[in-house]
Amino acid sequence: MDKDTLFVDTSKKSTKEEKKWEAVIEAVLFTMGSSVSLSQLAAAIDQKEEIAKEAVKRLMRRFDAGKRGIQIIELENSYQMCTRLEYYDYLIRVAAVPKKHALTDVVLETLSIIAYKQPITKIEIEKIRGVKSDHAVNKLVEYNLVYEVGRLDAPGRPALFATTEEFLRRFGIGSTKNLPVADPEVAAEIRMEVEEELSESGELISQKNNQENTELEDIN
């Protein structure tokens, strides 16, 4: 008997009413397929969100303890029922392999910037990358990894972009708060590599010349 099973066996048993709430939540998650917010789960069992959260957490522990093929994952303040990752290889033996969009280095770099700096505009992304990012951002929107979350209160009202729930699912992250902290040395090394590439292509030199010309105009 493993540790997870011991944990469940020794915990306080659910009452008849609590078991009913768990069953209702399980039915809702199974039927909906997509993520369901905590407020919706609370409405389903006609209880407060705190009680709904306790019920779904108990349900999650039961699924984990039994090592079932299905699991319940938490996405920000929502929950979703999905296939357990370790059984994916068995699943594709009888199902078509789901199409996954290939993410190029440029698209991944842009996605990383959005994930850590969100909400962020294209102009801010381009300042960090040093190059135009329209294509990369448009691809991320097409792949449903980022979306337009609003507009910046500034001239032109540029669009603000943030990551989606699909981003959390794709990378196995429960919340953007759980994003790994970047190593400063690695970040500096990446920045140097990018600047070298831009220098070789002449783009960085062009940008510096434009900046110097602007500064001279300001002085004059």
168 lies in the same domain as 189: no
One domain, residues 148 and 169: yes
Number of independent structural domains in the chain: 3
Q: Are residues 18 and 56 in the same domain?
A: yes
pLDDT category at 40 given cuts 50, 70, 90 is very high
Give the three-class secondary structure for 82.
Answer: strand
Residue ranges with strand state E in 18-124: 36-37, 70-75, 78-83
The owner of tokens 């069992």 is 45
Contact (CB, 8 A) for 72 and 56: yes
CATH number at residue 123: 1.10.10.10
Give one DSSP letter per residue of 156-185, joined into a string.
Answer: T--EEEEE-HHHHHHHT-S-GGGPPPPPHH
196: part of which helix (H) or strand (E)? helix 184-201
The residue that leads in pLDDT, 217 or 29, is: 29
Of the residues 64, 91, 118, which one is the last residue of a structural domain? Answer: 91
Q: Are residues 123 and 194 in the same domain?
A: no
Asked if pLDDT for residue 214 goes beyond 70, the answer is no
Q: Which of 25, 58, 91 lies at the terminal end of a domain, its last residue?
A: 91
What pLDDT does 57 receive?
93
Whether 24 has a pLDDT exceeding 60, the answer reads yes
Rounded percentage of the chain residues whose pLDDT exceeds 90:
35
Q: Do 175 and 189 belong to one domain?
A: no
Q: How confident is the model at residue 140 (pLDDT cuts 50, 70, 90)?
A: very high
State whether 154 and 74 are in the same domain. Answer: no
Q: Is the same domain home to 158 and 211?
A: no
Q: In the structure, what pLDDT confidence band is assigned to residue 33 with cuts at 50, 70 and 90?
A: confident
Q: What is the mean pLDDT of residues 209-218?
A: 46
51 & 73 share domain: yes
Dihedral (CA of 61, 64, 68, 69) sign = positive
pLDDT at 7 over 50: no
85, 16: one domain: yes
Domain boundary among 91, 121, 153: 91
Q: Cβ neighbours of residue 65 under 8 Å, at least 6 residues apart?
A: 4, 5, 7, 8
Residue 106 and residue 87 share a domain: no
Tens-place pLDDT, residues 76-124: 889 999 888 888 777 777 776 556 667 888 899 999 999 999 999 999 9
Q: Do 87 and 114 lie in a common domain?
A: no
Tell which wins on pLDDT, 156 or 37. Answer: 37
- What is the model's pLDDT at position 145? 93
Asked whether residue 218 carries a pLDDT value surpassing 60, the answer given is: no
At residue 185, does pLDDT exceed 80?
A: no
The verdict on 111 and 163 lying in the same domain is: yes
Most confident residue range from 45-54, 57-66, 94-103, 192-201: 45-54
Domain extent at residue 206 = 183-220
Side chain identity at 76, as an amino acid letter? E
Question: CA 162 to CA 147: how far, in whole Å?
Answer: 6
